[in-house]
Amino acid sequence: MRKIAVVLIIAALAAPVLGQEKDLDLNDLVNRALERNPGIKALDDAARASKFSIKPAGALPDPVIGFGLKNMGLSWSVGKEVMSEVDLSFSQTIPFPGKLRLKADIASTQSLQSAEAVRAAKLALVREIKDLYAKLYYYQRSVDLLRQKKDVLEEALKLAELKYSVGTGVQPDIFRAQVEISGIDEMLLNMGQMITTTAANINALLDLTADSPLGQAREIPFYALTADLDTLRQKAEEKSPRLEEARLMIEEGETEVKMARKEFLPNFMVQVGKGFKGPLPDMYEFMVGVEIPLYAGRKQVPLLEQAVSRLSGSRHDYASMKNDVGYMVTESYTMARTSGDLAGLYKDKILPQARLAYESSLANYQTGKVDFLMLVSDITNLFTYQTEYVRNLSSLWSSAARLEELTSLELINPAGEAPFPSGAGAAAAGR
């Protein structure tokens, strides 16, 4: 009876939520990744640098100051000959009105694209951290469950050995339990490898060495996904940084077409100068020049065709990306809903039933009403369903993290009461 009590105590502990100390916080991981990730830093620097290109793009070309000498013969004749002088001139090229503004608009749009690229990269990084965190949680909880299953099977093995020693059991039951225990050792090795690989991946995103300790992931709570698909699609179209970046590419292309058409119009050059003649009267000069687009067929026309083709390509890219985003939202939403429904089914129905079946088999095995194979089967079913619950919970969070990246909504908030809001009141993930 003492051994039965021990097994029952262990079985009572074999619940899907395990009471181990956990010291790895998801919010802390996200914040550290956004602060430390070198890829994000590089994009931030590039976006900051792009802002400094706006003013230069709209500035006038640098003026030219010229110095010249007109001299009669080889001997110095300035002040002696009327045609001899020292010239000082100032010239400035002035683009046709509107060209500088369009160049500044192009640079400004490119800067906005860089900012959207940073936002997209941050959302992708947050999604990757949350996805890896969910996987780490699954692997670590699977190890916990495997160890608990091993403890239960070892107690069942002792019970089988006891029954065999008194003549009420059979030796194959002992071998069967030993095989099950050896199989768990194999799975523990595989899970240990997955934990090491996942932790190394997280450390790489945090700009840490691969073997830096991370600790145990905190418990992931279960919530049902309440956001509707139409709302998520709408938010993705409105807030997706990738779509916004593609839209800005169209805007840039339209401005480039306007600029290419402006290039058919001439630029101007203004020059003023003074000729110093010494004791003789000085000479003054003023000149206005106009560029002639003489080679428009070889320069301006191809550039306009190029700009039109790029604009067309940008529009097609946007349409294609919009379709891709819509598909990915649908896919991630379906996966999240399915994983959530399965997790809820395991939590509310399958696990309680499996736990009752296991306890019944354990009691009936003592009285000889069921064989050892049935007991091992019910033990395996219980822990398999617990592992499936954790796996689907992890999949739910991974899919929701992907939806966050696509919609710029904060759907996963471990500290909040409703990490999967309906959409309208969700805060944008403007990280």
- Residue-wise pLDDT for 238-268, tens only, equals 999 999 999 999 999 999 999 999 999 999 9
Summarize pLDDT for 180-232 with one digit per residue, the tens: 888 888 899 999 999 999 999 999 999 999 888 888 888 888 877 777 899 99
**3-state percent breakdown (helix, strand, coil) of the chain, nearest 5:** 65, 10, 25
Can you give the pLDDT at residue 236? 93
- Which tokens hold the place of 7? 């097994």
Q: What is the pLDDT of residue 156?
A: 77
Span 338-345, mean pLDDT? 91
Residues 6+ apart with CB under 8 A from 102: 255, 258, 259, 262
Residue 303 half-sphere exposure, CB side, CA atoms within 13 Å? Answer: 15
What is the predicted pLDDT for the residue at 106?
Answer: 95
pLDDT tens for 17-70 read 444 444 788 888 999 999 999 999 999 999 999 999 999 999 999 999 999 988
Q: What is the mean pLDDT of residues 403-419?
A: 70
Q: According to the model, what pLDDT value does residue 77 have?
A: 83
* Angle between helices 241-262 and 229-239 in degrees, nearest 10: 40
pLDDT at 178: 82
The average confidence (pLDDT) of the chain is 85
pLDDT-above-70 percentage for the chain: 89
Distance of CA 136 to the CA centre of its chain: 18
Q: Which of 47-61, 169-183, 413-427 has the highest mean pLDDT?
A: 47-61
Higher pLDDT, 167 or 373: 373
Cβ atoms of residues 404 and 123 within 8 Å: yes
Give me the percent of the chain exceeding a pLDDT of 90.
Answer: 57
Q: Is the pLDDT of residue 335 over 70?
A: yes
Greatest distance between any 2 Cα atoms in the chain: 137
Q: What Å distances lie between residue 83 and 71, 88, 277, 285, CA to CA?
A: 7, 15, 8, 14
Looking at domain 2-60+95-263+299-407, what is its CATH homologous superfamily? Outer membrane efflux proteins (OEP) (1.20.1600.10)
Residue 101, classed as helix, strand or coil, is helix
What pLDDT is stored for residue 38 in this prediction?
93
Average pLDDT over residues 420-430: 34
Identify the pLDDT of residue 181: 84
Question: Per-residue pLDDT tens for 100-123?
Answer: 999 999 999 999 999 999 999 999
The pLDDT value recorded for residue 425 is 33
**Helices of type H across 216-371:** 229-239, 241-262, 300-345, 351-367
User: In angstroms, what CA-CA distances link 342 with 227, 335, 388, 419?
Assistant: 17, 10, 9, 18
The CB-based long-range contact list for 161-164 (8 Å cut-off, 24+ gap) reads 162/3
Alpha-helical (H) ranges within 52-98 are 54-57
Question: Which helix (DSSP H) or strand (DSSP E) does residue 189 occupy?
Answer: helix 171-205
State residue 124's pLDDT score. 94
Q: How many CA atoms lie within 13 A of 396 on its CB side?
A: 24
Size of the chain, expressed as the number of residues it contains: 431
Q: Which of 12, 20, 19, 21 is nearest to 351 (CA)?
A: 12
Does the structure show a pLDDT above 60 at 5?
A: no
pTM for the full model? 0.81
Sign of torsion, CA 143 149 152 157?
Answer: negative
- Condensed to tens digits (0 to 9), the pLDDT of residues 137-154 reads 999 999 999 999 888 888
pLDDT of 83 reads: 84
- Give the pLDDT score at 175: 77
DSSP letter for each residue of 6-59: HHHHHHHH--SS------B-HHHHHHHHHHH-HHHHHHHHHHHHHHTTHHHHTS
pLDDT score of 159 more than 90: no
Give the tens place of pLDDT for each residue, 396-410: 999 999 999 999 888
Q: Is the pLDDT of residue 348 over 50?
A: yes
Number of H helices and number of E strands within the chain? Answer: 11, 4
Confidence of residue 3 (pLDDT cuts 50, 70, 90): very low
Q: Note the pLDDT of residue 334.
A: 93
Give the Cα-Cα-Cα angle 198, 202, 206 (nearest 5 degrees).
165
Q: Which amino acid is at 62?
A: D
Given a cut of 50, is residue 6 above it in pLDDT? no
Q: In the chain, where are the structural domains located?
A: 2-60+95-263+299-407
